[in-house]
Structure 1
Amino acid sequence: MKKLLFIAFISVLSINAQEQNFISPHTVNIGDIMTLGKPSGKTYKHILFPKTNFIIKKGGTTNYKKLSGLRVIITNKETKEGKTTISIKRNDQKQFLNSIRIVKVNLEAALKAKEIF
């Protein structure tokens, strides 16, 4: 009985693993819509926001928690030396942190850290 339950459990796990869709840096194109995830620490490590003092000088806020779940559009894609860098802007045409229009993202590292998906 235990063996039968174990085999059933393993088969269900393998079916679920096959159904998951993974985003590859090669399948991302200009105009695609993605979602920002939670920051890796206090700030995003692979989404390249300026330093906090520059954001504050421009009149912005540094509340990175509000960015979680935000929908963004890819505006530019560059591949250099095996690294893919994309530029993103907000889907609702507002500014990031009330001061930044376009932000660059190290795509492979951000996908791995689940900062963007």
Structure 2
Amino acid sequence: MIKYAIALLFSVSMLNAQSSVNQEATDVEVGDIFEIGKPEANMYEHINFPRANFIIKRGGIANYKRAEGQKVVVTSIKEKKDGTTQVKIKRTDGNRFFGSHTVVSVDFKEALASGELEAL
């Protein structure tokens, strides 16, 4: 009987410990619309656009200035182990980025803080 009581107390304590883990709520949801802003430097740091040689290999035009002002929609959200939020975005008009890539990934909080992504 003591074994059952100890097992019950152990399982209750484990369930209680799991419920007390704080998960940081992201303030972005699938379907939210943003606008790509102007980067602080010459290149986008937090929007993971492909390098120019990959764009050219897939038949696109590597002009990063054309991405500025494009409206994008969030397609998926992923919490990484280090606590950052990785978001995948695509253009709202259905076209491809640079004529070659449909979806790109973004480090969400850093992109908002630097102005590379702007909420609408």
- Fold shared, TM-score > 0.5 on shorter chain: yes
Distance 2:53 2:84 in 1: 28
Deviation at 1:41, TM superposition (A): 2.2
Gaps of 5+ in 2: 1-24
Q: Equivalences for 1:20-99 in 2 at 5 Å? A: 26-80=26-80, 81-99=82-100
1:106 aligned to 2:107?
A: yes
Larger radius of gyration: 2
For residue 26 of structure 2, give the secondary structure of its aligned residue in structure 1: coil
Gaps of 5+ in 1: 1-24
Distance 2:46 2:40 in 1: 9
What TM-score results when the alignment is normalised by the length of structure 2?
0.73
Deviation at 1:68, TM superposition (A): 1.1
- Once the two structures are aligned, what percentage of the paired residues are identical? 42
What TM-score results when the alignment is normalised by the length of structure 1?
0.75
Q: Which moved more, 1:35-44 or 1:86-95?
A: 35-44
Q: Alignment length, in residue pairs?
A: 93
